[in-house]
Amino acid sequence: MSLATATPQTERRQQSARLRRRARTARGGRSILFHLFALAVLVVILYPAVWMFMSSFKPSNDIIGSVSLVPTDGGFQNYAKALEGIGGVSFWTFVVNSLILAVGSVVGILLSCSFAAYAFARVKFRGRSVFFVCMIATMLLPFHVVIIPQYIVFNNLGMINTYWPLLLGKFLATESFFVFLMIQFIRGLPRELDEAAVIDGAGHPRIFFSIILPLMKPALVTSAIFAFIWSWNDFFGPLLYLKEPSMYTMPLALRLYVDQTSTSDYGAQMAMAILALLPVLLFFFAFQRQLVGGVATQGLKG
């Protein structure tokens, strides 16, 4: 910090201060340009979603080929039609079915994945590193290689058209993404807490339930939100295992609806599509910070 010696370093520092000043004055103009560009991207990004929303209020023959976002006069009749249900099955049945699976998934994933994550992050035992590699490998494994034998077994057990095949894996921590997310979180917690508890004579169950689990709340919240949304949007699993419309989830019902209604009834299809997305959108608006944060940390540690 001495003023007398003008070493290359201080010269550099001065130069960088000058650069920073120049940047600040340039920022005003650049900021407007930035926002214009960012908003342009935003329009392109959100156009399909907004178009879909607006279309759901239009009469069907006004949708295809209409660039306009302004509803003409459809009102809520598309929604009324969508809420009528499909083939004698009430719309609300699909909602309840989806909810059962989503809530079941959340409970199963939070329980089984937090157990596994604690074992991987905090307990020392033989074979841990081998299993850890297995866990990471399953994240990269295309799940198609396991669905055929799984289907055969569930078929032999008479579990087709039940929710067992869709929920069992959630209670057995097969979704490595969540195990990994929780491991990363536990590793960030100070070890001193466990060590103090060990000195006090606490075993692993005590440490987990009274120290780690309460501290894991942010990771549990993030996991719960993702688990809910992924289960809600899941199409492939229900497509394989659910055969009767009374068991259908929203995405399956939506597909059935598109198949059954005449192809030109886009208005009602859009309304139904909006209704199927509604919980996801609500979650997004309520928890966007956790969602984006979850993705960011997951990627950073990878």
- Count interface residues toward other proteins (CB under 8 A): 98
Task: Establish if 186 lies at the interface with other proteins (CB under 8 A).
Answer: no
Task: Establish if 214 lies at the interface with other proteins (CB under 8 A).
Answer: no
**38 or 80, CB closer to other proteins?**
38
CB atoms within 10 A of CB 61: 13
Contact 192, 124 (CB under 8 A): no
Measure the CA–CA gap between 280 and 285, rounded to whole angstroms: 9
Contact 228, 102 (CB under 8 A): yes
Task: Establish if 296 lies at the interface with other proteins (CB under 8 A).
Answer: yes
Contact 101, 166 (CB under 8 A): yes
Task: Please identify which residue in 10, 31, 90, 210 interacts with other proteins, judged by CB under 8 A.
Answer: 31
Distance of closest approach, residue 287 Cβ to other proteins, in angstroms: 10
Q: Tokens for 214?
A: 């309460």
Binders in 152-181 for other proteins, by CB under 8 A: 152-153, 155, 168-169, 171-174, 179
Return the closest-CA partner of residue 215 out of 191, 235, 240: 191
Distance of closest approach, residue 115 Cβ to other proteins, in angstroms: 5
**63 or 219, CB closer to other proteins?**
63
Distance of closest approach, residue 79 Cβ to other proteins, in angstroms: 14
Binders in 101-130 for other proteins, by CB under 8 A: 111-113, 115-116, 118-120, 123-126, 128
Task: Establish if 66 lies at the interface with other proteins (CB under 8 A).
Answer: yes
Task: Please identify which residue in 88, 142, 158, 201 interacts with other proteins, judged by CB under 8 A.
Answer: 142
**96 or 148, CB closer to other proteins?**
148
Task: Please identify which residue in 40, 133, 146, 196 interacts with other proteins, judged by CB under 8 A.
Answer: 146
Binders in 79-98 for other proteins, by CB under 8 A: none
Contact 224, 105 (CB under 8 A): no
Residue 89 φ then ψ, to 5°: -95, 130
Task: Establish if 280 lies at the interface with other proteins (CB under 8 A).
Answer: yes
Q: How far is CA 5 from CA 1, 9, 148, in A?
A: 9, 10, 75
Measure the CA–CA gap between 66 and 44, rounded to whole angstroms: 16
Contact 116, 179 (CB under 8 A): yes
Q: Which residues have CB under 8 Å from 103's CB, separation 6+?
A: 228
Distance of closest approach, residue 103 Cβ to other proteins, in angstroms: 18
Return the closest-CA partner of residue 207 out of 232, 229, 226, 190: 190
**101 or 179, CB closer to other proteins?**
179
Binders in 227-266 for other proteins, by CB under 8 A: 229, 233, 235-236, 240, 251, 254-255, 258-259, 266
């394989």: which residue's tokens? 240
Listed ranges 31-39, 71-79, 96-104, 181-189: which one lies at the site for other proteins (CB under 8 A): 31-39
Q: 86 - beta bridge partners?
A: 89
Task: Please identify which residue in 2, 4, 5, 65 interacts with other proteins, judged by CB under 8 A.
Answer: 65
